[in-house]
Amino acid sequence: MASIILSQVTVDFPIYNTGSRSLKNNVLRRVGGQLGQSRTDVVTVRALDGIDLELKGGDRLALIGHNGAGKSTLLRVLAGAYEPTLGRVTSQGRVTSLLDITMGLDFELTGRENIILRAILLGMNYDEARALVPEIEAFSELGDFIDLPMRTYSSGMALRLAFGVSTAVQPDIILLDELISVGDAAFTERAVARMEEIITKSSILVLASHDPKTLLKYCNKAVYLRKGRIEDAGDVERLLDRVSEELARSGKPAKGAA
Amino acid sequence: MVNAYAEERNARAWRDLAQGLASWRIWSLLALNDIRQRYRRSRFGQFWITISMAIFVTAIGFVYSTLFRTPLAEFVPFLAANYVVWFLISGIVTESTTAFIQAEAYLRQEALPKTIFVMRMLLRNFIAFGHNVLIVPFVFLFFATPPSWAALLALPGLVLIAVAGFLVGLVSAILSARFRDLPQIVINFLQVLFFVTPIVWRPEQLQGEHRLVVDLNPFAAFLRVVSEPLLGRVPPASTYLTAGLSILVLAAIAWPLFTRYRGRIVYWL
């Protein structure tokens, strides 16, 4: 059974200006005398602050919060890409993060080579990787383009391939930053259908979105992030109401809770 | 608490190494793609690696054999063996600086072991070396240099370069992700190193205390554990000793650095 447990997860981002990134300045600072300036000019931004979160099979979590609240950082922590500065992450199950579906796609490689590369990155062997090709080929409607370099593709074709490759393997845990919308209307329909299928079969879904309709449709619980902290957790509808209420109170027009 | 953290970091570093090495399919495919990409759409493809090397060795061979008043038949095989190995070493050192920077898209999204990207860089350079080393038998044949069984000793020498290359790769990939001037510093450093390492000149041409330039230069040691066997000579024990000690020192630097900063790398990208 898939599960993710975060306890007291804190993530600090160092922001380097060009000065502190340079080795020369670092050495000179240590060699030279104190000139009264601060010892270091590294600014850290606390992106997540003491996050406690427990997800188990069947959970469909909505991440709600304004831009910069820490939604994307939290998704990257859940993916295992960011190791927290403090705190602990324990997770079980195959995680697929659809945060950047074009990850690892190489525009000089053909569609087929890209499919195999991505499958190998998922930990498959070459036979398993090759076995994936026909299905993705059919889904992304590439036709003969499958054996041409990806740089010859239209942007729609590239996105269809990226989407097909990213969703070809059923994950236990799905991490999504906005529901993906790709290509023309006909393809979008098929993409949504495919997405819904892997979401249904998955054990855990974490979805960050600004669209209340999407969140209400796919999620059964929610977390409201503000300034890197969990401000509130519980029912999706209640939290969405709270967010739009807060927006209204702060005087800004509530443009679809965006 | 502090101890528990340190212990966990250590366990994670070992896991990264074990899983990284086990993911050979990933790094070998990435390395092959790197090589293919560099020469895609060119007529000779990756054999441009070999051609470039042949042109360099021929040209520099003529110039320096005249300068040093050494017969071509002696100098060109010497240069070919040395330069091919130097090209491997300097390639590893140069490209290790961008091993993590280049992998940003992967590292920011997935929990892939970091060592995968060091192995990718290492293998990419060994594939290039595989193409370059082809010119050595041609040169030997052309100048009728007899082959020798000592050439087999080049294999353990290559293993030493691989181990040292992995460790250097870790150190310089981590530091370069954090300090973006380092790649430039390394390039300059290597240019100087080319001249103080016995690649185009022989160690015998140095006298007295100048010999220390060769004896204490770890780059010379790693060069000679492969190039000397290629030239049919058995490297002296002192060369192996220098190479072995260098690996120990590198490991003593690389492992604590990797353990301490492995989790931070992605925040620097």
Contacts of A104 in chain B (CB under 8 A): 105-106
Nearest to A87 by CA among A234, A231, A228: A228
Alpha-carbon distances, residue A159 vs A40, A139, A188, B129 (angstroms) = 43, 12, 11, 37
CB contact at 8 A, A69 and A225: yes
Cβ separation B108–A76 shorter than 8 A: yes
Q: How high is the pLDDT of residue A33?
A: 45
Q: What is the pLDDT of residues B184-228, one digit of tens each?
A: 999 999 999 998 888 888 888 887 777 777 778 899 999 999 999
According to DSSP, the residues that pair with A223 across neighbouring strands are: A63, A233
Q: Cβ–Cβ of A82/B29 closer than 8 Å?
A: no
Supply B23's token pair.
């993911």
CA B236 to chain centre: 21
B188 touches chain A (CB under 8 A): no
Q: A81 and B107: CB-CB below 8 Å?
A: yes
Q: Are A211 and A109 in contact (CB under 8 A)?
A: no
List all residues of chain A from 97 to 136 with a beta carbon under 8 Å from chain B.
97, 99-100, 103-104, 106, 108-109, 113, 116-117, 120-121, 123, 125-126
Q: For A64-113, write each residue's pLDDT tens digit.
A: 988 888 898 999 999 989 999 889 898 888 888 888 888 878 888 899 99
Q: Which of residues 40-99 of A touch B (CB under 8 A)?
A: 76, 79-83, 95, 97, 99
The reported pTM is: 0.88
pLDDT of residue A30: 56
| Per-residue pLDDT at A257 | 43
Q: Say whether B34 sits in a helix, a strand or coil.
A: helix
3-state SS class at A173 = strand
CB–CB contact A21 B33 (8 Å):
no
| Chain B nearest CA to A24, separation (Å) | 8
Q: How many beta-carbon contacts under 8 Å exist across A and B? A: 72
Per-residue pLDDT reduced to its tens digit, A212-244: 888 999 999 999 998 889 988 888 889 898 988
Give the end-to-end CA distance of chain A in Å, rounded to a whole number: 34
HEC string of A92-105 equals ECCEEEECCCCCCC
Question: Within chain A, where are the H helices?
Answer: 18-21, 23-31, 71-79, 111-121, 126-140, 155-166, 185-201, 212-218, 236-249
Percent of chain B surpassing pLDDT 70: 99
What are the pLDDT digits (tens) for A161-183? 988 988 888 889 999 988 766 66
Q: Which residue carries 């990213």 as its tokens?
A: A166
Instruction: From chain B, pick out residues whose CB is under 8 angstroms from the CB of A26.
Output: 179
Which stretch of A83-92, B86-95, B244-253 has the lowest confidence by average pLDDT? A83-92
Span B52-66, mean pLDDT?
90
- Work out the minimum CA distance from A99 to partner chain B, whole angstroms: 7
Select, from the ranges A123-127, A228-232, B168-172, the one with the highest average predicted confidence (pLDDT).
B168-172
pLDDT computed for residue A101 by the predictor:
82
- What is the pLDDT at residue A36? 42
* Strand partners of residue A234: A222
Question: What are the chain B neighbours of A126 within 8 Å (beta carbons)?
Answer: 25
Residue of B nearest to A120 (CA): B26
Query: Is the Cβ of A186 closer than 8 Å to some Cβ of chain B?
Result: no
Question: In the prediction, which pLDDT does A91 show?
Answer: 87
Average pLDDT over residues B246-252: 96
User: How much is the pLDDT for A40?
Assistant: 58
Q: Which residue of B has its CA nearest to A75?
A: B109
User: What is the reported pLDDT for A28?
Assistant: 62
Q: Are A173 and A91 in contact (CB under 8 A)?
A: yes
Please compute the mean of the pLDDT values over residues B98-112 and round it to a whole number. 89
Q: Cα separation of B203 and B189, whole Å?
A: 20
pLDDT of residue A21: 64
Q: Is A90 helix (H, G, I), strand (E, B) or coil?
A: strand
- Strands A3-15 vs A229-234: parallel, antiparallel or unpaired: unpaired
CA dist A114 and A132 (Å) reads: 11
- In this structure, are residues B162 and B126 in contact, taking their beta carbons and an 8 Å threshold? yes
Residues 6+ apart with CB under 8 A from B138: B54
The pLDDT of residue B2 is 58
Q: Token digits for A6?
A: 């975060």
What pLDDT is stored for residue A246 in this prediction? Answer: 84
Pairing of the two strands A3-15 and A43-56: antiparallel
Distance from CA of A139 to the nearest CA of B (A): 24
Nearest CA of chain A to the CA of B73: how many Å? 43
Residues of B within 8 A of A117 (CB-CB) are 29-30, 33
Is the model more confident about A32 or about B80? B80
Q: How confident is the model at residue B38 (pLDDT cuts 50, 70, 90)?
A: confident
pLDDT > 90 in chain A, percent:
33
Residues 83-122 of B with CB under 8 A from A: 105-112
Query: Which residues in chain A have their CB less than 8 angstroms from residue B184's CB?
Result: none
Res A250 pLDDT > 80:
no
Residue B2: Cβ-neighbour burial (10 angstroms; 0-12, 13-18, 19+): exposed
Cα A164 to Cα A115: distance, rounded to the nearest angstrom: 9
Report the pLDDT value the prediction gives residue B24, as an integer from 0 to 100: 94
pLDDT at A258: 40
Q: Which residues contact B146 (CB under 8 A, 6 or more apart)?
A: B232
Secondary structure (3-state) at A52:
strand
* Chain B contact for A2 (CB, 8 A cutoff): no
CB contact under 8 A, B26 and A121: yes
The residue to which tokens 């340079």 are assigned: A22
> Which residues have C-beta within 8 Å of that of residue A252, sequence separation ≥ 6?
none
pLDDT at A252 over 60: no
Could you give the C-alpha distances from A243 to A63, A69, A151, B245, in angstroms and in order?
12, 13, 42, 62
**Cβ B153 vs Cβ B224: under 8 Å:** no
d(CA B123, CA B158): 12
Q: What pLDDT score does A210 carry? A: 87
- Chain B residues whose CB is inside 8 A of the A22 CB are 179-181
Question: A52 pLDDT exceeds 60?
Answer: yes
B39 interfaces chain A, CB cutoff of 8 Å: no
Does the CA dihedral A27-A28-A33-A38 come out positive or negative? negative
- Encode pLDDT of B136-156 as tens digits: 998 989 988 887 888 899 999
Chain A contact set for B33 (CB, 8 A): 106, 109, 113, 117
pLDDT value of residue B187: 92
Q: Is residue A52 a contact partner of residue A6, using CB atoms and an 8 Å limit? A: yes
Q: Determine contact: B15 vs chain A, CB below 8 A.
A: no
Q: Tell me the β-bridge partners of A110.
A: A149
**Closest chain B CA to residue A13:** B267
Q: Does the CB of A169 have a partner CB in chain B at under 8 Å?
A: no
